[in-house]
Structures are given as structure tokens and as C-alpha cells.
């Protein structure tokens, strides 16, 4: 069973979302895509989908495919200049040594952004740095031009975001290291040996860097830095962990229809091998700051998909939006005939156990603070509070859903 609101491919494998752009009343979402198989491979394409919101996407033909010097089209970004001309900057890789990518540009052949022409390689890994990984360009407009950040791993265990500048999006100049941190540092959070998809932006007067945490080919979680940013240098004042569990990875920053900073995640473990597809994207999250903490809350667009209140906690469907408040010390149970998930308060965290899909698997924990939001959608469960996010693949919930709590107040809406 597919989720109803979480984007999945018609067939094949998807992972990182990227290039998310709101334009002319629609969101364009691009993503890493490997057609014809349900396992990742280096021969990634850029898939493409559009919709009025990120919960109502329609998949379109592949935007960019391997070939013409690329063995794989990996993660990157989309930018538009002052004349609304679009450019995609992507990681071009060659096999078998795909650790060190290059940054290449592509431009659309028409206003619908369906077909893209590949252009030049505009950035290579700089000489003089002993790098084992180099990929995932992210570009932002600054006062005096354009700034590119690229994720790297140095052989000595240092994760870094390198930076480049350009006046015209055509010629790029290496400008040094924007931010770095050793994998030996663990206080208050470990940030790995490589930052995949490092993205630098601002919330109010604070600078924020969000990245995926990678180490020795293991994908861990999303982390962040808060601080100040001046002339291409990020001065970190606080570090934090944003996601928990094994599902969320590769957060992609975008601005919504109201120009607010948001994230969309790849969710691992959501798949149907028999139907020939694997991978899903999360619901979108709206970002804010609470002191030295980055807070991600479910985007208000989800509320437009509410089909009605379920006053007794019974939903005639497979998807629900659940708000649970004042439940300290209690349990929340979400059940259908094929799956039961129990969320139990324990010392400032929720312990989440999927009874049917993985009865022998260890429970997962996510720190919580304040009200808890739970989104259930077929085989997907997402839990959020001010303290962090948790994504969990489940056995598919089937109708009806039965939702109850031993303590606190529940507000349950069906989703469609």
C-alpha cells in the first residue's frame, strides 16, 4: 500500500529531494531517481514532480539523465536569476570512483522545465585539500553576487562546507572553507565525517547550516549549526540534532509560497518491492528558532488535507493528523487490523514501538517537548515536537484507524 500524501515514485528508487521551487502557483520538486530497480545505484537521474502543494505531487518525465560525460546525476540545487532564468547545478559523478564529484550546470529548453540541456562543469574539487568526498552544491543569492556551498569530507576526519563565489552564475571562484568540524567532536552532538547537502540560510538575524551526517558510508541523521555568517564564513555558536531514527535523511531547504524557510526529507525504508518502488518524501516542515534550537513543525499545507474531525479517535481511512498535548507519562496507541504503534512517554522522550511490522526490533526514542504531532499515512509514521523529528516505516495501516491515549488531550483529523 502506498501512502496517500507522501510522495512515492510510480516505479523505481528515489532518495534525496532537491531543487524545490514554488513558481506560478505550483511547487516543482526534483529528486534522485534510479528507474527500473528498488535498490540505490550510482546511475541516478533527476526525477521531477509538480503540484499545488508538496502533498499533492504528480510525477513527470525524467528531467536529467546520465550520459554526455555523467555516469550519475546526483544532488544539487535550482536557482533563478533576476530575469527568472533557471539553472540546475548538480553533482556529476563518474564510476567507479564516484566519491569526488564535479558541479555541472543544466538549463531548461522551455518554460515548463520538463527538458534540460547540460552545460559545462563549473566547479571541481580544489587542489591542495586531501578530500575523500565532494558533492551536493547549494547556491544562495547574496548582496554582491552568488555563493555556492559544497559538502566535503577530508581524509583526516574533518567534515566541511567549501565555498565559491560568482557574479553571474557562470564563472565560479574558490573562496575557502565556510565551516568545518572534526568527527572527533561529539559535544553537544556528533556531526560525522562528511556533510551531505550542507545548506546555509538565515532565520531572522541568525545564520543556520543544515546538513546530513555521514560517516564511512553510513547515513545517520540531520544536524545543524546556528551562529553568524559574514563574507562566506560561518561562525558556529551552537550545534544540534534535528532528526531521530533510521528513516529521515537528506533534508532539502526550500522557500514556500510565503517565502518561509522549510525542509523536505527523504524517508528511508518506505517501499513495496512487489509493486516495484522504493523511497518516499516526508511531509514538509516549517522552520523557526527557539533560542539555540532549530524547530521544525508540520507545514500548514497539511491542514488543507484534513477530511474531518474524528471525535472518538476512529478514522475511516488510512491517514490521520494527530495532536497530543498534556500526555506526560502516558501512552498513545495507533492501531488497525495490520499494525499497532505505541508511543510511550519516558524521561523526556517518546519510546516508539511498531508491534506488528517489526515485533523483534528495538524501540526507537525521540526527545519531546510540549505538544506532540503525529502524522500517519499508510506505511508512514512521523512524530514531531519542538525537540526534534522522528520518521518510522510501518506495516501499512488499513481502515479503520483506532487512536487513543491514556493521558492528555487528543485532537484527531482524518486526512485525504
* Burial track 113-125 (b if 16+ CB lie within 10 A, e otherwise): beebebeeebbeb
The CA distance from 161 to 414, in Å, is 42
Domain that holds residue 370: 302-415
* Same domain as 110, residue 229: yes
- 1 in a structural domain: no
- 4 in a structural domain: no
pLDDT, residue 178, reads 98
Coil, strand or helix: which one is 303?
helix
Catalytic residue among 16, 53, 70, 256: 16
* Same domain as 352, residue 207: no
Out of 272, 301, 330, pick the residue that ends a domain.
Answer: 301
* Same domain as 325, residue 229: no
Q: pLDDT of the chain along its 416 residues, tens only?
A: 899 999 999 999 999 999 999 999 999 999 999 999 999 999 999 999 999 999 999 999 999 999 999 999 999 999 999 778 999 999 999 999 999 999 999 999 999 999 999 999 999 999 999 999 999 999 999 999 999 999 999 999 999 999 999 999 999 999 999 999 999 999 999 999 999 999 999 999 999 999 999 999 999 999 999 999 999 999 999 999 999 999 999 999 999 999 999 999 999 999 999 999 999 999 999 999 999 999 999 999 999 999 989 989 999 999 999 999 999 999 999 999 889 999 999 999 999 999 876 667 788 999 999 999 999 999 999 999 999 999 999 999 988 999 999 999 999 999 99
Residue 74 belongs to domain with CATH number? 2.115.10.20
- 3 in a structural domain: no
Half-sphere exposure of 383 (CA within 13 A, CB side): 32
- Residue 361's φ and ψ, nearest 5 degrees, are -75, 145
Residue 284 contacts residue 389 (beta carbons within 8 Å): no
Residue 312 contacts residue 390 (beta carbons within 8 Å): no
- 6 in a structural domain: no
pLDDT, residue 358, reads 64
Out of 257, 274, 301, pick the residue that ends a domain.
Answer: 301
* Same domain as 270, residue 233: yes
Please provide the DSSP assignment of 109-167 as one string.
SSTT---EEEEEEEE-PPTTS-EEEEEEEEEEEETTEEEEEEEEEETTSEEEEEEEEES
* Same domain as 189, residue 250: yes
Half-sphere exposure of 96 (CA within 13 A, CB side): 0
Tell me whether residue 168 is one of the annotated catalytic residues. no
* Same domain as 360, residue 293: no
Half-sphere exposure of 85 (CA within 13 A, CB side): 10
* Same domain as 378, residue 311: yes
The CA distance from 2 to 278, in Å, is 10
Out of 252, 285, 301, pick the residue that ends a domain.
Answer: 301
- 23 in a structural domain: yes
pTM beyond 0.95, yes or no:
yes
**Which residue, 298, 232, 264, 271, is CA-closest to 75?**
264
Q: Domain total for the chain?
A: 2
State which H helix or E strand residue 256 sits in. Answer: none
Identify the burial level of 348 via C-beta atoms within 10 angstroms of its C-beta, where 0-12 means exposed, 13-18 middle and 19 or more buried. Answer: exposed
- 5 in a structural domain: no
pLDDT, residue 399, reads 86
- 252 in a structural domain: yes
* Same domain as 203, residue 258: yes
* Same domain as 104, residue 152: yes
* Same domain as 51, residue 142: yes
- 2 in a structural domain: no
* Same domain as 223, residue 342: no
Residue 397 belongs to domain with CATH number? 2.60.120.560
* Same domain as 185, residue 51: yes
Amino acid at each position: 500500500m502506498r501512502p496517500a500524501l507522501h510522495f512515492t515514485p510510480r516505479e523505481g528508487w528515489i532518495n534525496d529531494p532537491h531543487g524545490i521551487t514554488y513558481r506560478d502557483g505550483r511547487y516543482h520538486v526534483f529528486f534522485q531517481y534510479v528507474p527500473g530497480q528498488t535498490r540505490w545505484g550510482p546511475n541516478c537521474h533527476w526525477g521531477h514532480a509538480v503540484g499545488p502543494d508538496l502533498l499533492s505531487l504528480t510525477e513527470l518525465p525524467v528531467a536529467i539523465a546520465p550520459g554526455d560525460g555523467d555516469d550519475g546525476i546526483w544532488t544539487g540545487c535550482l536557482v533563478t536569476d533576476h530575469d527568472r532564468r533557471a539553472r540546475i547545478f548538480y553533482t556529476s559523478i563518474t564510476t567507479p570512483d564516484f566519491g569526488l564529484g564535479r558541479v555541472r550546470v543544466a538549463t531548461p529548453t522551455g518554460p515548463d522545465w520538463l527538458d534540460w540541456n547540460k552545460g559545462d562543469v563549473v566547479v571541481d574539487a580544489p587542489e591542495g585539500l586531501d578530500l575523500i568526498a565532494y558533492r551536493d552544491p547549494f547556491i544562495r543569492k547574496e548582496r554582491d553576487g552568488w555563493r555556492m556551498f559544497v559538502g566535503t569530507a577530508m581524509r583526516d576526519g574533518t567534515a566541511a562546507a567549501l565555498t565559491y563565489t560568482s557574479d553571474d552564475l557562470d564563472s565560479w571562484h574558490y573562496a575557502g572553507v565556510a565551516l568545518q568540524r572534526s568527527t572527533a567532536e561529539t559535544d553537544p552532538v556528533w556531526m560525522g565525517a562528511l556533510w551531505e547537502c550542507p545548506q546555509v540560510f538565515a532565520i531572522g538575524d541568525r545564520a543556520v547550516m543544515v546538513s546530513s551526517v555521514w560517516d564511512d558510508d553510513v547515513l545517520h541523521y540531520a544536524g545543524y549549526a546556528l551562529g553568524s555568517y559574514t563574507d562566506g564564513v560561518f561562525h558556529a555558536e551552537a550545534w544540534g540534532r534535528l532528526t531521530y531514527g533510521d528513516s529521515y535523511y537528506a533534508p532539502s531547504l526550500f522557500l514556500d509560497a510565503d517565502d518561509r524557510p522549510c525542509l523536505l526529507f527523504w524517508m528511508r525504508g518506505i517501499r513495496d518491492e512487489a509493486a516495484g518502488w522504493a523511497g518516499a518524501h516526508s511531509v514538509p516542515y516549517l522552520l523557526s528558532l527557539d533560542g539555540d534550537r532549530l524547530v521544525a513543525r508540520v507545514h500548514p499545507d497539511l491542514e488543507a488535507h484534513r477530511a474531518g474531525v474524528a471525535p472518538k479517535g476512529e478514522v475511516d481511512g488510512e491517514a490521520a493528523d494527530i495532536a497530543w498535548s498534556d500526555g506526560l507519562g502516558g501512552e498513545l496507541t495507533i492501531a488497525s487490523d495490520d499494525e499497532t504503534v505505541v508511543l510511550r512517554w519516558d524521561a523526556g522522550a517518546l519510546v516508539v514501538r511498531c508491534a506488528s511490522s517489526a515485533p523483534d526490533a528495538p524501540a526507537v526514542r525521540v526527545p519531546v517537548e510540549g505538544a506532540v504531532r503525529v502524522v500517519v499515512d499508510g506505511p508512514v509514521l512521523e512524530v514531531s515536537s519542538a525537540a526534534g523529528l522522528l520518521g518510522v516505516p510501518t506495516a501499512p495501516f488499513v481502515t479503520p484507524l483506532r487512536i487513543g491515549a491514556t493521558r492528555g488531550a487528543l485532537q484527531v483529523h482524518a486526512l485525504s
